[in-house]
Amino acid sequence: MKITNLQGSQNIGQSEQKRAKNVSGADFKDLLDAELLSVSSSSKLEHTSGVSPVGQLAAGLRIESLSVAEATIDSLESFGSALNNLELPTEDLEPYITALEEETGSILDLKDKLPAEDPLAKLLDRVATVSYIEVAKYRRGDYQ
């Protein structure tokens, strides 16, 4: 294969040389000040436009969501430990199942308050799914 467009590569080389001259001739402080101004002006526009990005959700909702997810994971671990105890009757697992059902409901309520694209909503969905499956398996009789 023969490449005949040599002018394009010469133009690329010239633009790279121009950029190198611009960067080497510019003062770092000037570049930093310009970036800080552009960032601060864009953040002012976001605040005045009324758009609420995902990161600006109420901190209380995020903390509560994480707390409930952590409690559910702890309940799942306790349930798993109880399942490993072969001397424990199946009826004694009921408190674990009740707790998992309540926590799953709480997780789903909190998840509905979050935007769908929020990574925390995806985490809550996964924890709720695992919890729901374990409750369903118990109710179906898999652990008897």
Question: Which one, of 65, 57, 56, lies nearest residue 121 by Cα?
Answer: 65
- Cα separation, 113 vs 117, whole angstroms: 12
Q: How confident is the model at residue 142, as a pLDDT?
A: 86
Each domain of the chain, given as residue ranges in start order, spans 9-46, 57-140
Mean pLDDT for the stretch of residues 109-136: 91
Tell me the pLDDT tens digit for each residue of 13-45: 554 454 444 545 556 677 767 777 776 665 555
94-113 and 59-84 helices cross at what angle (nearest 10)? 160
pLDDT digit string, tens, across residues 56-98: 557 888 889 999 999 999 999 999 999 998 888 888 899 999 9
